[in-house]
Amino acid sequence: MNSVLVLNGPNLRRLGTREPDVYGADTFDDLVALCRETGRRLDLHVDVRQTDDEAEMIGWIHQAADERLPVVLNPAAFTHYSYALRDALAQRTAPLVEVHISNPAAREEFRHTSVVAAVATGTIAGFGLISYVLALQAIAELLAEESRG
Ligand code: DQA
pLDDT, averaged per 10 consecutive residues of the chain (149 residues), comes to 97 96 96 98 98 98 98 98 98 98 97 98 98 98 92
Pairing of strands 96-100, 2-8: unpaired
Pair 61, 89: CB distance under 8 Å: yes
74 lines ligand 1 (CB under 6 A): yes
Residue 102 CA, closest ligand 1 atom number = 11
- How many whole angstroms separate alpha carbon 132 and alpha carbon 99? 7
No. of H helices and E strands in the chain?
5, 5
Domain ranges of the chain: 2-148
> What pLDDT is attached to residue 43?
97
In this structure, the residue with its CA closest to atom 13 of ligand 1 is 76
Residue 11 Cβ contacting ligand 1 at under 6 Å: yes
pLDDT at 149: 81
For residue 144, report the distance from its CA to the centre of ligand 1, in Å.
29
Does 147 appear as a known binding residue?
no
CATH class of the 2-148 domain in this structure: alpha beta
pTM: 0.97
Looking at ligand 1, which atom is closest to the CA of residue 77? 6
